[in-house]
Amino acid sequence: MKAVVTGAAGFIGSTLTDRLLAEGHEVVAVDNFDDYYSGKMRFLRRHLENERFRLLEIDVLDLDALRRSFEGADVVFHMAAQAGVRISVRDPLKAHHANTTGTLHVLLAARDAGVRRVINSSSSSVYGNAVRLPAREEDPTVPISPYAASKLAAEHYCRLFHSLYGLESVSLRYFTVYGPRQRPDMAIRIFTDRALDGKRPQIYGDGEQTRDFTFITDVVDAIMRCADCPDLKGAPLNICSGSTVSVNQVVHAILKTVGREDLTPEHLPPQPGDVNHTWGDNTKARELLEWEPRVGIEEGLARFIEWYRTVGRA
């Protein structure tokens, strides 16, 4: 398989690239190396001498460059995005350009280059404060942040390109992905970093908000299975652990793992755009992809903290 991975230097994109190359596929890695956070190149550097790997510095807003990079590709794994609810509240236009217009460009380029399938990265944030938990794909979508709105708009474009042009696609609604390589602005990394420095963890709100944390290797496994699944019709799929845990519980587990249970969390005002609870029903993904999450929160936190101690802070 010849695959294009947009956002290939990022958290999910680089982990997916590792997996694709390990399984013998050809990978065209596309990334604009946006300055939202630095150091991403180190995740791809070891592949630069691999004859099955090609790295292109391209922005998904450059439609002509995307068309050229997609030539001959079987599947496009679209990971490129302006991630983060809070930055989208500060800069809604950037989220819209990167996530909505960027996805439209990916779909146009894929259609024009004859790509068979686009696997789009969406988010559980499209549910907003879900009307029921666990959230199911057919439940109402009521975004409460520009980031969520941009991701939902991108989903609609994927459905349209399937129905109008026959471009196979699926939108994967990720629920709080975590693990090695996660971004510096993600909560688990921030909590861990402060604990290792002997600083009190800072929690927005009372900490009783809950999240469906999903480990990176489980997410990449689901993404990989989408490449060959025969019955994808542009619809969304929840990619989640199917369980939920409070932020307070996560912080306590981190403090226990790093041996700093003496640090008392500091509670700060809630942040605009943050939802109260996320919890997904992954029944459709289990059935359609023959997939199941395997890494529980305790094991996942231990694996992340070990990576962060030995590699992540280097």
Q: Is 37 a catalytic residue?
A: no
74 Cα distance to chain centroid: 21
Contact 227, 191 (CB under 8 A): no
For residue 302, the tally of other CB atoms under 10 A from its CB is 14
Using alpha carbons, list the distances in angstroms from residue 54 to 69, 70, 140. 10, 12, 40
Catalytic pick among 147, 157, 178, 308 = 147
The reply to whether omega before 140 is within 30° of 0 (cis) is no
For the chain, the maximum distance between any two Cα atoms, rounded to a whole number of angstroms, is 59
**Tell me, what DSSP letter sits at residue 82?**
-
d(CA 67, CA 65): 5
For residue 174, the tally of other CB atoms under 10 A from its CB is 22
Q: Which parts of the chain fold into alpha helices (H)?
A: 11-22, 63-69, 85-90, 92-95, 102-113, 146-165, 187-196, 216-226, 247-258, 283-289, 297-307
Strands 245-246 and 210-211 turn out to be antiparallel
**DSSP-derived 3-state class of residue 83:** coil
Using alpha carbons, list the distances in angstroms from residue 145 to 84, 128, 207, 273, 291. 10, 8, 20, 5, 30
The set of catalytic residues is 147
